[in-house]
């Protein structure tokens, strides 16, 4: 069984985020399966996972800016940290071919993702719902007052 599988507990009732998160879970499982296959299979699955995660995080960060979050906030910081680790592991895999490092990455991401989705991403989805935000157009049906201060935290309980 995959280290991470989709469950209703991961659903945030925000269609764009939920479909991206479904893909995240599927691509992580594909990477895990590739670990039992050939080197080119790992190369391809890891590249697809990195590329998808870059888009996934960039989308959420763009939406946060559109919702009035400060560009620098703990949600974006956490994305940056995860991407840094991902790129380091990707580079080490391509230079040294250490399968155990990729295996460890899969295990760590499988633990990290549900916590992130249920805290920071859930807070983002809630703010999107509150403001009637359309992620496709970037428009808000209920924008806050124009003099409202930027949201400096991420809105989740885990935000220090
Ligand atoms: Fe996310
Ligand atoms: Fe996120």
What's the pLDDT tens digit per position in 70-87?
A: 878 899 999 999 999 999
* Residue 99 near residue 137 (C-beta atoms within 8 A): no
Task: Tell me the CA–centroid distance for residue 60 and ligand 2, in Å.
Answer: 6
- Report whether 29 contacts 2 (CB < 8 A): yes
Domains annotated on the chain, with CATH:
14-131 (1.20.120.50)
Confidence of residue 9 (pLDDT cuts 50, 70, 90): very high
Q: Which long-range contacts link 77-80 to residues 24+ away (Cβ below 8 Å)?
A: 78/116, 78/120
In tens, the pLDDT along 120-140 reads 999 999 999 999 999 999 999
User: How many angstroms does the Cα of residue 113 sit away from the middle of ligand 2?
Assistant: 9
100-125 average pLDDT score: 97
The answer on pLDDT for 37 being more than 60 is yes
pLDDT band, residue 152 (cuts 50/70/90) = confident
Mean pLDDT taken over the chain: 93
* Model pLDDT, residue 107: 98
Looking at the CA of 83, name the nearest ligand: 2
**Can you tell me the distance from the alpha carbon of 100 to that of 2, in angstroms, rounded to the nearest whole number?**
16
Q: Which two tokens stand for residue 140?
A: 């808000």
Question: Residue 40: what pLDDT?
Answer: 97
Name the 3-class secondary structure at 159.
coil
pLDDT of the residue at 147: 66
Dist. CA 33 → ligand 2 center (Å): 24
């Amino acid at each position: 069984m995959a280290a991470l599988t989709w469950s209703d507990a991961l659903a945030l009732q925000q269609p764009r985020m939920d479909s991206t998160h479904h893909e995240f879970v599927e691509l992580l499982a594909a990477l895990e399966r590739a670990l039992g296959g050939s080197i080119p299979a790992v190369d391809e699955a890891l590249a697809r996972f990195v590329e998808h995660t870059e888009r996934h995080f960039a989308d959420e960060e763009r939406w946060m800016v559109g919702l009035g979050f400060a560009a620098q906030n703990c949600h974006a910081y956490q994305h940056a940290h995860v991407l840094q680790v991902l790129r380091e592991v990707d580079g080490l895999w391509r230079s040294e071919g250490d399968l155990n490092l990729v295996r460890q990455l899969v295990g760590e991401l499988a633990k990290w993702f549900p916590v992130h989705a249920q805290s920071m991403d859930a807070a983002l989805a809630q703010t999107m719902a509150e403001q009637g935000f359309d992620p496709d157009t970037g428009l808000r049906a209920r924008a806050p007052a124009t003099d409202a201060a930027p949201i400096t935290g991420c809105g989740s309980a885990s935000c220090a």
